[in-house]
Homo-oligomer: A and B are copies of this chain.
């Protein structure tokens, strides 16, 4: 395992190299220029080899002596410099902290370095993408909303944390779960269950589903944040655990699943380190309505927005598999969607005691 100090040194070296290159260009009398990956849609693709969304190899130049680039150029160097200082101080800050730390009126002018955070955030992404570093490796905290429990022990700093002893609360997933921060000390689970909604997660935790079924339960409370996604990737890669996703049967739940599985367009440059391509979709599906005799009253009619989103999903390359196209067609044909909580119609513990165990036993998944 790489320790934090060694890793930090490598990151600082990368940042310094970026600065030194600019100094050399200045000394040679050249126009200071950074080469940055293009992060627009035209350079993003689904990579069949890694089975994740990925950034292509198109790059563009940001030049100090190009008046259209000068402000952004100055800002990029400020951001890189501040990140270096944060790492040297052994701290982690949010991207909003970073913005405020850098905001000032440039001496002798009326001009501010930054006007708002929308100016600094994309430059952080430029640095992440061009140096091929995760935001976490730059000591920048992303928001993390997740909760986790299960038969597993982690070490986080000096604390040894037993995720089987978190009571009704659960452990709040940290923002940075890289190997140098979180060490997985003991792992006894057979699989990971990724639950879309925290209310449903609480139901599973209350019933100690993870104990009975020998699994890890995690929720991202809606769209999963980086921390949760990276943690699940580690469980999949390092411990070869199957990952099952339990989502609402609607285009939004299915999209959240696809982000866990192959990533999102906006984080394309980091998806190899965040996505878990072996994730399987365990439910809900529209097909479940007949399979489990779920009363029609608890299904919901699709609205205009659902149908529009459904058509978008149908067209995504990573949803081209026959099983998914069938599910989308069925959803459209039946004109229904369904929330996880709808299963409560069949009894409070139907979801934990009948639905899930049966789905897993029959390997009744979508790919």
Contacts and interface: CB of A to CB of B under 8 A. Distances in A.
Contact of A344 (B97, B154, B342, B345): B97
Interface string A173-200: 1111000011000000000000000110
A104 interface: yes
A89 interface: yes
B170 A172 contact: yes
Interface in A84-98: 86, 89, 91-94, 96-98
Interface stretch (A155-163, A269-277, A312-320): A155-163
Contacts of A199: 94, 96-97, 141, 143
B103 A339 contact: no
A348 B91 contact: yes
Contacts of A145: 145, 221
A132 to B, nearest CB: 24
A357 interface: no
A105 interface: yes
Contacts of A103: 297-298, 345
A168 interface: yes
A101 B347 CA distance: 7
A355 interface: no
Q: A103, A170, A172 — which one has the most chain B CB atoms within 10 A of its CB?
A: A172
A94 B176 CA distance: 30
A179 to B, nearest CB: 14
A135 interface: no
Q: A156, A169, A343, A348 — which one has the most chain B CB atoms within 10 A of its CB?
A: A169
Contacts of A155: 167
A217 interface: no
A207 B145 CA distance: 20
Given A172-B147, A172-B170, A339 B297 contact: no
A295 interface: yes
A341 interface: yes
A169 B172 CA distance: 5
Nearest to A104: B297
A292 interface: no
A168 B335 CA distance: 45
A349 interface: yes
A266 to B, nearest CB: 19
A74 interface: no
Interface string A319-342: 000000000000000000001011
A298 B114 CA distance: 10
Nearest to A94: B199
Interface in A116-168: 141, 143, 145, 147, 154-157, 159-161, 165-168
A206 interface: yes
Contacts of A62: none
Nearest to A176: B168
B348 A101 contact: yes
A163 B65 CA distance: 54
Nearest to A165: B159
A156 B168 contact: yes
B86 A348 contact: yes
Given A103-B297, A298-B103, A344-B93, A159 B154 contact: no
A202 interface: yes
A155 to B, nearest CB: 8
